[in-house]
Homo-oligomer: A and B are copies of this chain.
Amino acid sequence: LRWVAGLGIVAADPMATPNFYAGLVLDRMAERRRDDEFILGLLAVPTTCIVPVWRGFNLIGTDSEPRAVFVTAGQWRPGGEVTFLGMAGTTAYFATDLSSLDQREAEARLAGIGQFVDLRSVGPVIDRQSGALLAYARGLAHWHARHRFCGACGAPTVSRAAGHVRACANPACAIEHFPRTDPAVIMLVTHHDQCFLARNRRFPGGMHSTLAGFVEPGESLEDAVAREVREEAGIAVGDVTYRSSQPWPFPASIMLGFRAEATATAFALDADELESGAWFTRAELRAPRQADSFRLPRPDSIARRLIEDWVAEG
């Protein structure tokens, strides 16, 4: 690890440290998901942990430092659908979605245990493994909520394979739907000793970040990188190099991080998306700045990582 002024501690080897929300050490036991007896047996174990999700929020204990808190199956036998997340050692983890409860009911249900908050509000400060587990639970809860009906025929779907499949209940259709994860490319555009950062119109005040966008059907990741950089900033890129990836279930993405070397520094912003953009040197990014006029992306984002890794190289 290495200290970089203005950025804080950055990893010496960018590949060695997983990104936030990645690197979860959990045996997902995919091969047992359709074994109902095994799954029901785990739910009957009093120490089995339930990870509640409510309308996209995760349960966080706030008695001292923010931390992930769980309900045990001994305290509270889940009533609705549950999703088997996996086992850490001898402890099984299941997610359950309480979104059908109103806010008062949901808070009452978990009173004394924790509060429901947006994972991104605590992601950078809770321990990495907890953050990754909560992200996994949040992602699956969102998928279930968006796939209660079959897209092919409109009939209701039912949870199968311990929550990793939703099967169409219409016997004439009977399609199995699997969890959805949307691949998005995110890339630090560089030109020799400068990198390009921009402000999306939706960004919080002062924040500058890398370009990013969803991969479309019929594209490789590299195709998507080149298209997004051209569309958003009017920049042509040559070398496109993969760096690392990050689950980003806000609500359903995986971020695929690249570095892309521009062929020239001229740019033309897509004014519908971006309000400003500029080239920055490493020295400029290291210099202390007014937080209200220039901020880097959130510390748990792969955008931040892409920028920090590049700054640390020079």
Identify the A interface with B (CB < 8 A). 18-19, 21-24, 28, 30-31, 132-133, 135-137, 139-140, 143, 145-157, 164, 175, 177-183, 214-223, 227, 231, 242, 244-247, 249, 252, 254, 256, 270, 272
The residue that A151 contacts in the complex, of B132, B135, B147, B254, with Cβ under 8 A, is B147
CB-defined contacts of A181 to chain B, threshold 8 Å: 182-183, 215-217
Most chain B CB within a 10 A radius of its CB, from A22, A150, A216, A252: A216
CB-defined contacts of A242 to chain B, threshold 8 Å: 242
Answer whether A146 and B140 are a contact pair too, CB < 8 Å, given A245-B221, A245-B222. no
23 A-B contact pairs sorted by A residue (CB < 8 Å): A18-B222, A21-B218, A22-B219, A22-B222, A24-B218, A28-B227, A132-B218, A137-B218, A147-B151, A149-B152, A151-B157, A178-B214, A181-B215, A181-B216, A181-B217, A217-B252, A219-B254, A220-B245, A220-B246, A220-B247, A221-B245, A221-B254, A223-B247
CB-defined contacts of A227 to chain B, threshold 8 Å: 28
Bound state CA distance, A242 and B244, in angstroms? 9
**Closest Cβ–Cβ distance, residue A227 to chain B (whole Å):** 7
The residue that A221 contacts in the complex, of B146, B214, B256, with Cβ under 8 A, is B256
Most chain B CB within a 10 A radius of its CB, from A218, A246, A249, A256: A218
